[in-house]
Amino acid sequence: MSEQKALLLETVNGPFVVSTVPILKPGPDQLSIKVVAAALNPVDWKVQAWDILIKEYPAILGSDIAGDVEEVGEGVAGFSKGDKVFCQGYFVSEMGGFQQHALIPADIVGKIPPNVDYAQASTIPLGFNTAAIGLLRAQPEGAGLNPTFDPNVNFSGQPALVVGGSTSVGQFAIQLFKLLGYSTVIAYASARHADYLKSLGATHVIDRGEVPVGSLAEAAKKIANAPIKIAYNAVGDNDSRAACIDAIVEGGQVADVSPEAKDPGNGKRVISIIGTSHHPPHREFGRILWKTLPRLVQEGTIVPNRVEKIPNGLAGIDEGLQKLKANKVSGVKLVAFPQETA
Ligand SMILES: NC(=O)c1ccc[n+]([C@@H]2O[C@H](COP(=O)([O-])OP(=O)(O)OC[C@H]3O[C@@H](n4cnc5c(N)ncnc54)[C@H](OP(=O)(O)O)[C@@H]3O)[C@@H](O)[C@H]2O)c1
């Protein structure tokens, strides 16, 4: 059996170790993907620190993959060996991105359009899924703004708020609000990202260095030309959630990245997002998403995050995760290249 390099989380709260594991054959409906680029996410250090989401150790993590189709499983149509693809990894080892070859269900894989490279493509899957599931997916799992990606849906005239606009997820939420036709898209982020976030579709950026989160709701309401019915919380802590809840009108909704997020019981809805199209209840939505996303990227409607490349293949990932954990990553996505592992 052929072998590959993988980054193993060996035990609960254990270290990440580069190791050698077998290359698995794709099962029915799966693609075997040679992982060229794998983006890093906060969930990866959270799994290590908090022992969440993983059922079996040693585990291979990594939720963002871009690479080449290597082998096509039985029953798969529409993909061939050599296709350049991007997709979400998942929390079972065969589907993790922190290895040189991963197995992913073909129905939630997209082809990389020619205008983005592997590294850029790898910045999109988890962030975009988390933004889209929270905003577009039907209620109760999402805010139900456009579950079928219908191009005729339009919220012109309405305002929206994104707290954590410069996060990876927040950047995609801003772009989705623009796609949905919102007239006012207010982002809360550091001022140094203002021009970039405006290029993505924010109409206003409230500087989090100047306006404390406790004053954010008032500041957002002042900017908004109408009651705010929808907010996206890409930070997910209690203060940011309280600001979102305060900013929206009764009957309004907050899509929140935290698993702890709950309805406040005051006529406002808070959605706790499970941001993966692998999640069985999201699967149908995920299929629609992955059919639509390559076109949105190709036409420039959805642009990738800015990339910071990590050296040393899989061996560089641990240091990158420590930077994420220490809040030392701002407005960029860290991307590793598993094939460069020594
Ligand atoms: N529920 C899910 O399925 C799901 C999926 C994906 C992510 N998440 C969670 O969503 C969160 C964001 O993930 P990510 O990958 O998008 O993060 P990220 O890109 O790594 O976030 C870094 C950014 O966070 C911003 N930030 C930190 N504290 C902030 C605050 N109090 N207010 C506003 N901005 C703040 C910083 O902004 P500035 O540079 O502007 O200061 C920085 O640019 C994480 O907690 C992650 O675990 C959840």
CATH assignment of the domain containing 314: 3.90.180.10
Q: Closest ligand 1 atom to the C-alpha of 259?
A: 1
Together in a domain, 133 and 102: no
Q: What is the CATH number of the domain that holds 263?
A: 3.40.50.720
Q: In whole angstroms, how far apart are CA 112 and each of 3, 17, 202, 241, 288?
A: 26, 30, 26, 34, 16
Classify residue 21: in a domain, yes or no: yes
pLDDT of residue 235: 98
Reply yes or no: is the peptide bond before residue 294 cis, omega within 30 of 0. Answer: no
37, pLDDT greater than 80: yes
- Domain containing 176: what range? 128-272
Nearest atom in ligand 1 to 129's CA: 5
Question: Would the CB of 167 count as within 6 Å of ligand 1?
Answer: yes
Q: Name the residue among 133, 205, 214, 130 with its Cα closest to residue 165.
A: 205
Residue where one domain finishes, among candidates 250, 272, 294: 272
As a whole number of angstroms, the distance between CA 59 and CA 38 comes to 16
- Nearest atom in ligand 1 to 275's CA: 3
Assess if residue 212 is contained within a domain: yes
**Short-list 132, 64, 76, 72, CA closest to 107:** 76
Q: Are residues 240 and 132 in the same domain?
A: yes
Alpha helix (H) residue ranges in 224-316: 238-247, 283-298
Mean pLDDT of 254-269: 95
Please determine, for residue 225, whether its predicted confidence score (pLDDT) is greater than 90.
Answer: no
In a domain, 291, yes or no: no
The stretch 300-309 carries a mean pLDDT of: 98
Pocket of ligand 1, candidates 52, 126, 162, 169: which has the most ligand atoms within 8 Å of its Cβ, to mutate?
Answer: 169
Instruction: Determine the pLDDT at residue 260.
Output: 93
Where residue 153 falls among pLDDT bands split at 50, 70, 90?
very high
Judge if the beta carbon of residue 329 lies within 6 A of ligand 1. Answer: yes
Co-location of 90 and 195 in the same domain: no
Confidence of residue 50 (pLDDT cuts 50, 70, 90): very high
Compute the average pLDDT of residues 293-305. Answer: 98
Residue 26 confidence (pLDDT): 98
Which residue, by CA, sits nearest to atom 1 of ligand 1?
257
Q: Is the pLDDT of residue 7 over 80?
A: yes
Q: How confident is the model at residue 90 (pLDDT cuts 50, 70, 90)?
A: very high
Q: Which residues pair with 71 in a beta bridge?
A: 32
Mean pLDDT, rounded, of the chain: 97
Instruction: Output the pLDDT for position 5.
Output: 98
The response to whether residue 234 sits with its C-beta less than 6 Å from ligand 1 reads yes
Say how many Å lie between the CA of residue 327 and the centre of ligand 1: 9
Instruction: Using the 3D structure, point to which of 272, 296, 313 is the last residue of a domain.
Output: 272
20 vs 135: CA distance, rounded Å: 40
Residue 292 in domain: no
Q: How far is the CA of 165 from the centre of ligand 1 (A)?
A: 8
Residue 255 has pLDDT above 90, yes or no: yes
Residue 293: pLDDT above 80? yes
Alpha carbon distance 5, 124 (integer Å): 24
State the distance from the centre of ligand 1 to the C-alpha of 274, rounded, in angstroms.
15
Task: Note whether 87 and 75 are same-domain residues.
Answer: yes
Q: Largest Cα–Cα distance in the chain?
A: 63
As a whole number, mean pLDDT of residues 49-57 equals 94
pLDDT of amino acid 264: 92
Q: Quick check: is 283 in a domain?
A: no
- The arithmetic mean of pLDDT across residues 278-293, rounded, is 97
Q: Which of 50, 29, 40 is nearest to 324 (CA)?
A: 40
- What percent of the chain has pLDDT above 90? 99
Q: Domain count for the chain, please give it.
A: 2
Is 33 among the domain residues? yes
* Rounded mean pLDDT, 89-98: 97
